[in-house]
Every structure is written in C-alpha cells, then in structure tokens.
A = this chain, B = another copy of it.
Amino acid sequence: MRDFTHDHRWLSINTATLRRQHGQERPLIEILDDCARHGIRAVSPWRDQVAAAGLQATGRTLRAHGFELSGYCRGGMFTAADAAGLQLARDDNLRALDEACELNAACLVLVVGALPGALQGQAAHKDIALSRQQVFDGIAALLEQARARRMPLAIEPLHPMYAADRACVNTLEQALDLCDALDPQRSGALGVAVDLYHVWWDPKLQAQIERAGRERLLAFHVCDWLTPTTDLLNDRGMMGDGVIDIRQARGWVEANGFAGYSEVEIFSHRWWALSGEQTLQTCIERHRRCV
C-alpha cells in the first residue's frame, strides 16, 4: 500500500469541493490555479464548470499546469419518461464523451439517473426496474462510442438514499453486474468509480472490490460520513471528521490493483462557507493523515 503521509502526489481534487466558496460560485480557472499553486497534480472537473469556463480555455489551463484528470464529472442520467427524453440523454452523453476525450480524462464518470422527474420533485412513475433497464440500454449504447474513442466509462454506484432521484445503481455489486453483462471480456472499457461516501456501509464492500479487480477499478473518491448527517446532499464530511475507515478501504482497492489518484469530492455547505485556501489546505493535510 502506498504511503501518503509524506506528500500529496496522489491527491486529486474534484472541483466541486471548491466551487462555491463563501456561497459564491467560483470560476473553474481560478480553482485550477489554486490547485496548481498547492502542488496538486490531478483534478476532476464538472461539466457545468467546464461549460462556463469554455472547453478550449479549460483544456489550455489544464495543459499549462500539467494536470492529469482522474475523471470527468459526469455522464449518465440515462433515464427518461419518453423516447424523446431518452434520445436527449444519449445525445448529451455523446457530448460528455467528446469533452472527456478533449480534456484527456482517465475516465468518464457515470451517475446513471433514477426515476424521471423525481429530482424535480414529481416522479413520472415508480417503476425502478424500468429505470434500471433504461440505464442498461443507455450504457450499452454509449459503450460502443466510448470504445471507439478509447475513453473508459466508470459507473458510480450512488448511496441508496439517492435511488429515487439521482441514481438507481446503488451498490458496487449491482454496478459490477452491469460491467459483467456489457463487458464480459474485462477489456478496461467499462468499470466502476468507488466513492466511499456511497459504498462505505456495504457489508459486501471488500468482496466486491476484489471482484472488480484492476480492470474495473477506474476511480477512487473519498470524503467522510458525518454523524449526524443533516442534509442528504450537501453535508459530506472532510476525511477524518466522520466514521469511514478510509485507509482500510484504500488498502482494499490497492491490493486489487488500483494505483491511481485518491480524489477528494466534498459537497458541503460547511466547507463551502470557508475560503478556498482553507478548504484546500485541509484536504491536503487530511489526505496525508487520514487517507
């Protein structure tokens, strides 16, 4: 297992972590400049931030700083209430794929979607099995295009508390079942993003990480689970402030071949209320001490 205590060369910053300092949306380029100044070598930007900054300008800044992309956030949201919606989702995923290629990302992360309309407060139906079938079909179609562009797709299982409105793939086992069905040859074109916030609780976590293996472990995200958790979306904890045994889980992914970045992704009103400098320095310190 790699020793992270002496430096932060394997720390990646998911740019959502620093996006809303003091309640103000910050420009992506400014976030990237901050990361570079702190010796960060990898980032994972969000599509809406890239769109606001401009794809070309983002690419230039990434290259100027020599950043790697531990992933690109995100494709997915495959589910819809009708055929037109499904087609829109497919078209949008192709654009996400092209952007991931343009930015030379390690993988395109997929948050797969759930019951259509639920995120807006009114689900179009209650048939989660139908949503799961749409996700299967959506990934199958996207995978062909992704293979052609040599861009790996990383299915991110989301915590079951998001099963209604954000993602109906909710365990690592379920994500790996999709991988086995769609890429039985374990080509590396399809795998998983293991975000500990979403999967830490799973009694089958270690077994499923072993099942995933090197070819399927495409990304590793960290933050912490707070007790109490006061908001389902934006109360993620800084590593070390919660109950997740992060180092144990990192040991499991590394024992099974993962050798990439540890990506910090924290959605938190608490950390967004502080300065970017403070949040970023704390990420670095906790990466050494708790990851």
Contact with B along A149-192 (1 / 0, CB 8 A): 00000000001110111001011001000000000000000000
Contact with B along A202-220 (1 / 0, CB 8 A): 1100000000000000000
Contact of A161 among B164, B168, B229 (CB under 8 A): B229
Residues on the B chain within 8 Å of A227, using CB: 115, 118-119, 121-123, 164-165
- Are A203 and B244 in contact (CB-based, < 8 A)? no
How many angstroms from the CA of A44 to the CA of B245 in the assembled complex? 37
The minimal Cβ–Cβ distance linking A119 to chain B, given in whole angstroms, is: 7
- Are A160 and B229 in contact (CB-based, < 8 A)? no
As for how many copies of this chain the complex holds, the number is 2
Residue in A128, A165, A171, A200 with the greatest tally of chain B CB atoms within 10 Å: A128
Which label, helix, strand, loop or mixed, suits the secondary structure of the A interface?
Answer: loop
Near B by CB (< 8 A), chain A positions 218-232 give: 225, 227-230, 232
Interface flag for A25 (CB, 8 Å): no
Residue in A170, A228, A229 with the greatest tally of chain B CB atoms within 10 Å: A228
Residues on the B chain within 8 Å of A118, using CB: 227, 243
Residue in A119, A132, A165 with the greatest tally of chain B CB atoms within 10 Å: A165
Q: Which residue of B lies closest to A166 (CB)?
A: B227
Contact of A159 among B127, B160, B164 (CB under 8 A): B160
